[in-house]
A = this chain, B = another copy of it.
Amino acid sequence: MGKKHVYLFGGGSAEGAGESKDLLGGKGAGLAQMSELGIPVPPGFTITTEVCNYYQAHEGIYPEALAAEFGAQLEALEKLGGRRFGDPAEPLLLSVRSGSKFSMPGMMDTVLNLGLNQEIVEAQIVAGVDARYIRDCFRRLVTMYGDVVLGVPHEEFERVLAGARERAGAKSDAELSADALAELTERYLELIASAGEPLPEKPIDQLWGAVSAVFDSWNVRRAREYRRLHGIPDDLGTAVNVQMMVFGNRGEDCATGVAFTRDPSTGEPRIYGEYLVNAQGEDVVAGIRTPLSIAPVDGAAGLGVEFPVAYAELERVCALLEDERRDMQDVEFTIEAGKLYMLQTRDGKRTGTAATQIAVDMVEEGRIDRATALTRVTGAQLVQLLAPEFDVAEKRQAIEAGRLLATGLAAGPGAASGRIALTAERAAEMALAGPVLLVRDETSPEDIVGMHASVGILTSRGGMTSHAAVVARGMGKPCIVGAGALMVSSEKGEMRVDGRVLREGDELSIDGTTGEVIAGELSAQPSQVLRSLLDGASDDSGLVAAARRLLGWADEARRLGVRANADTPEDARVARALGAEGIGLCRTEHMFFEEDRLPWVRQVILTPEAAQRAEALAHLLPVQQSDFEGILEAMDGLPVTIRLLDPPLHEFLPRGEKSVNSLAERMGLAPQAILDAVESMAEFNPMLGHRGCRLGLTHPDIYDMQVEAIARATCALVARGFDPRPEIMVPLVGTEEEMARLRERTAAVVGRVLAEMKCSFEIPIGTMIDVPRAALVADRIARHADFFSFGTNDLTQMTYGYSRDDVASFLPQFVDQGILPADPFEQLDVEGVGQLVALACERGRETKPDLKIGICGEHGGDPSSIRFFDSCDLDYVSCSPYRVPVARLAAARSSLHREAGTPERK
């Protein structure tokens, strides 16, 4: 017996119960599960993802056994439904929906009402079926089939529909009469025929056409793009669900809706969703008509009042689904003649706030354990909780000044300011120059890249489950939808609201937490959760408490240490408040740029005279010492890795006439001498120039001063009863000899100070691994290093040959076009740069099995990179202070992932 290709469900049981989402897709598995649980589900069958893969691999040919199996299951379905497909007297109408393992909103296509043609419609009307209803069904079939299967642009149907509404003087489709619908359908059919292939007459041809269209749609560009952006493999395939229609558009006792079992914005445990009376499901999702809230709100009665029986059943079903599936669900339903039918259940997308609240609530409800809770909140979601909010006073002033343009649905929390872009393409272009807000009537899958490029999304139409809302929440971007006061015209390059005109490129602000659209730029401030973590105050707010608990569980679960990159005592305090267990990177060059120090720094660099150099360094020593004291005190008892001077010296040189003259005077030189020196130190490629430990070797007195300042700061703090734990890090080491010499020299300076101060402690001396060669010879460098810390920014620059300052001219394009899977400066390139990281860990530990290894590049705060660093058994990651909570969570999720036994390390 061959493989089973088609799985039947309905009538209280399912052939596919217990089969995986891999085989049946998310939708098919959910339907099978609901059917098995006795939840009212219209019967149907699922064609497996394996058929999809076969179809893709064989250029559109199906497995030989499929046709017979399909026919048998269609017959079984006819029995369950009590109607026959294509029968003019009692026609079985079917829907065809795609459903792969992962939900891909808007990517895959749906065709409803299959099984109708002119003849059947007329026969049904003759048999007494409501003419308006059956003609509405047919015109919907024609539109969807024309669009999805035959490729006639959706907008052309809309245009024809708008004409029909105008002729009929109708405001909405619901006002169109049966005759108007008949005429509309006629025009649709003409439109299709004029564009090429006509609508198949025979229902069975329609059915196969729709099934094939689903499989074909797996491979269209926008689907491939979505998968690429979300890291979904191409060979996963989609299943196809063929299901008996139930009708939300059969009259005023019918409806269709979508619901979340909890609020997807806040996590509040109540059914949250929207419905439309006398409509079919696509009307809700497409965001064309603005739907009603299921909960009573703003004078609307809510589903519970309008459809009390169905609502009670929905409440029962939602609770049952949460019990069984142990997560918040996103369901689709239809009410036909007052009776509830469930069409889909899946784990619901949610904001960071909701994810945190739901995860913690479900632990309390006993539905999940702590480890599961940690897997339910992604780093990106936690980022949303910590995302900035507008300054409250500034926003109030702006509103009082009349800058509030409109209020829409708060579809994605967070605050964003940026320049208006009216098409996705423009958004992607403009994003190269600065933050962009994408403003559209509605968004569609074609806009994905532009949405990625934008800091926030605003639409004039659609509801909380419209494409824009769902996708923006997934991306963690602030989003407002359904701001109906906006008139957006991308052709004219402007949007109008209340008589005001804003043009593309104008500044705009949106508050995705409140739904406010405000003209001009607004400054943002830390979120409530962030403020509370920083204050360290115990707070009653449910969300803050939930976030604290979740992070506490994360700290229990993680193996990786988390440190922060911080250069000032203030940054160090922030980092510590957010849970940093030390400083992984304290850059000393930032201290050199302060106004009272820069002239001395310049003197060191420019003078060849030993006395002048010594004088300048003597001035810098106490201020550096005080810098280090401040940071070490703030991190008392925790390690602080201090990196010796790294950038090219000419970064410190004077540029303007004024600073040149003042420096010349100070040093007793002619201004031209300063200019000559500046000129002589200019570099063609400073990134690859005379910097880092190369400076330390050619200008040893600078490092000597810095090391002395560190040692003296440590002695001073010890004398004051503190427990300072400095670590000295040498940057840009490429050879064993460099490290050996600098280690020797550094240790000698430390030893000299300790002897002088009669102090005794160890200061570990280690190195950045930020040059490819260092990774290659890590075994040798480790002989002289107490620790390694990967500088993945520079390592990425040199491994790719990409200057971070210059990549804007091609890198965004490379990411958009899929030449690069992601920006390697945001997400560590595991395939390439990762090899060097893994190699350096392996070789370093060959020499010193207990070598401490961390990472202090930007990637230290990126969850997917953190998982890789964990797989390399790094000791800690270090990231910017505000990313520390994210890193704590990501480290915990990585530990859980590893415990689950997924082997990741090469």
User: Which residues from B are CB-within-8-Å of A684?
Assistant: 686-687, 803, 805-806
Query: Within the assembled complex, what's the spacing in Å between the Cα atoms of A831 and B735?
Result: 10
User: Which residues from B are CB-within-8-Å of A809?
Assistant: 681, 689-690, 698
Can you name the residue of chain B whose Cβ is closest to the Cβ of A777? B832
Partner of A794, one of B770, B801, B832: B801
Contact with B along A804-821 (1 / 0, CB 8 A): 011101100110011110
Task: State whether the Cβ of A62 lies closer than 8 Å to any Cβ in chain B.
Answer: no
| Cβ contact within 8 Å between B688 and A801 | yes
Q: A685-B686, A735-B819 are in contact. Are A771 and B801 (CB under 8 A)?
A: yes
| Cβ contact within 8 Å between B685 and A833 | no
Query: Within the assembled complex, what's the spacing in Å between the Cα atoms of A661 and B569?
Result: 54
Q: List 17 other contacts, CB 8 Å, given A689-B803, A698-B809.
A: A683-B803, A683-B805, A684-B686, A684-B803, A685-B685, A685-B805, A686-B803, A688-B688, A688-B797, A688-B798, A694-B814, A697-B810, A697-B819, A735-B820, A738-B819, A771-B799, A772-B832
| Cβ contact within 8 Å between A832 and B694 | no
**What are 8 A-B residue pairs whose CB atoms fall within 8 Å in the complex?**
A686-B806, A688-B797, A688-B802, A689-B806, A697-B814, A741-B819, A776-B836, A798-B799
User: Which residues from B are CB-within-8-Å of A698?
Assistant: 809-810, 813
| Cβ contact within 8 Å between B810 and A694 | yes
Closest 10 pairs between A and B when the two form their complex, measured CB to CB: A688-B803, A685-B803, A773-B832, A684-B805, A689-B806, A771-B801, A683-B806, A685-B685, A685-B687, A690-B809
Task: State whether the Cβ of A420 lies closer than 8 Å to any Cβ in chain B.
Answer: no
Task: State whether the Cβ of A291 lies closer than 8 Å to any Cβ in chain B.
Answer: no
Query: Within the assembled complex, what's the spacing in Å between the Cα atoms of A380 and B686?
Result: 34
User: Which residues from B are CB-within-8-Å of A690?
Assistant: 806-807, 809-810
Task: State whether the Cβ of A281 lies closer than 8 Å to any Cβ in chain B.
Answer: no
Task: State whether the Cβ of A30 lies closer than 8 Å to any Cβ in chain B.
Answer: no
Task: State whether the Cβ of A823 lies closer than 8 Å to any Cβ in chain B.
Answer: no
| Cβ contact within 8 Å between A771 and B800 | yes
Task: State whether the Cβ of A428 lies closer than 8 Å to any Cβ in chain B.
Answer: no
Query: Within the assembled complex, what's the spacing in Å between the Cα atoms of A690 and B697?
Result: 32
Task: State whether the Cβ of A20 lies closer than 8 Å to any Cβ in chain B.
Answer: no
Task: State whether the Cβ of A737 lies closer than 8 Å to any Cβ in chain B.
Answer: yes
A639 vs chain B, min Cβ distance (A):
27
Query: Within the assembled complex, what's the spacing in Å between the Cα atoms of A809 and B694?
Result: 10
A452 vs chain B, min Cβ distance (A):
19
Task: State whether the Cβ of A734 lies closer than 8 Å to any Cβ in chain B.
Answer: yes
| Cβ contact within 8 Å between A820 and B737 | yes
Q: Which of A801-858 contact B (CB under 8 A)?
A: 801-803, 805-807, 809-810, 813-814, 817-820, 829, 831-833, 835-836
Task: State whether the Cβ of A74 lies closer than 8 Å to any Cβ in chain B.
Answer: no
Chain A residues within 8 Å of chain B by Cβ, number: 49
User: Which residues from B are CB-within-8-Å of A801?
Assistant: 687-688, 732, 734, 770-773, 794, 798
Query: Within the assembled complex, what's the spacing in Å between the Cα atoms of A819 and B829?
Result: 31
User: Which residues from B are CB-within-8-Å of A817?
Assistant: 697
Query: Within the assembled complex, what's the spacing in Å between the Cα atoms of A803 and B690?
Result: 9
| Cβ contact within 8 Å between B806 and A737 | no
Contact with B along A522-549 (1 / 0, CB 8 A): 0000000000000000000000000000
User: Which residues from B are CB-within-8-Å of A683?
Assistant: 803, 805-806
| Cβ contact within 8 Å between B831 and A777 | yes
A707 vs chain B, min Cβ distance (A):
19
Contact with B along A728-766 (1 / 0, CB 8 A): 000010110110010000000000000000000000000
Can you name the residue of chain B whose Cβ is closest to the Cβ of A771? B801
A667 vs chain B, min Cβ distance (A):
21
Query: Within the assembled complex, what's the spacing in Å between the Cα atoms of A807 and B681?
Result: 11
Can you name the residue of chain B whose Cβ is closest to the Cβ of A773? B832
Query: Within the assembled complex, what's the spacing in Å between the Cα atoms of A684 and B833?
Result: 22
Partner of A737, one of B687, B688, B694, B819: B819
Q: Among the interface residues A686, A741, A771, A820, which one has the most CB atoms of the partner chain B within 10 A? A: A771
Q: A798-B798, A810-B697 are in contact. Are A687 and B686 (CB under 8 A)?
A: no
User: Which residues from B are CB-within-8-Å of A694?
Assistant: 810, 814
Query: Within the assembled complex, what's the spacing in Å between the Cα atoms of A794 and B818?
Result: 26
User: Which residues from B are CB-within-8-Å of A833?
Assistant: 773
User: Which residues from B are CB-within-8-Å of A734?
Assistant: 800-801, 832
User: Which residues from B are CB-within-8-Å of A777?
Assistant: 831-832
Query: Within the assembled complex, what's the spacing in Å between the Cα atoms of A552 and B817?
Result: 53
Can you name the residue of chain B whose Cβ is closest to the Cβ of A808? B690
User: Which residues from B are CB-within-8-Å of A803?
Assistant: 683-689
Can you name the residue of chain B whose Cβ is closest to the Cβ of A818? B737
User: Which residues from B are CB-within-8-Å of A831?
Assistant: 776-777
Q: Which of A687-717 contact B (CB under 8 A)?
A: 687-690, 694, 697-698
User: Which residues from B are CB-within-8-Å of A771?
Assistant: 799-801
Query: Within the assembled complex, what's the spacing in Å between the Cα atoms of A810 and B737?
Result: 15
User: Which residues from B are CB-within-8-Å of A737?
Assistant: 818-820
Query: Within the assembled complex, what's the spacing in Å between the Cα atoms of A836 and B772?
Result: 10
A776 vs chain B, min Cβ distance (A):
5
Query: Within the assembled complex, what's the spacing in Å between the Cα atoms of A797 and B799?
Result: 11
Query: Within the assembled complex, what's the spacing in Å between the Cα atoms of A799 and B777?
Result: 11
User: Which residues from B are CB-within-8-Å of A800?
Assistant: 734, 771, 773
Query: Within the assembled complex, what's the spacing in Å between the Cα atoms of A186 and B684?
Result: 63
A302 vs chain B, min Cβ distance (A):
52
A649 vs chain B, min Cβ distance (A):
9
A795 vs chain B, min Cβ distance (A):
9
Can you name the residue of chain B whose Cβ is closest to the Cβ of A689? B806
User: Which residues from B are CB-within-8-Å of A819?
Assistant: 697, 735, 737-738, 741
User: Which residues from B are CB-within-8-Å of A794?
Assistant: 801
User: Which residues from B are CB-within-8-Å of A697?
Assistant: 810, 813-814, 817, 819
A85 vs chain B, min Cβ distance (A):
45
A692 vs chain B, min Cβ distance (A):
8
User: Which residues from B are CB-within-8-Å of A685?
Assistant: 685-688, 803, 805-806
Query: Within the assembled complex, what's the spacing in Å between the Cα atoms of A683 and B686?
Result: 11
User: Which residues from B are CB-within-8-Å of A681?
Assistant: 809
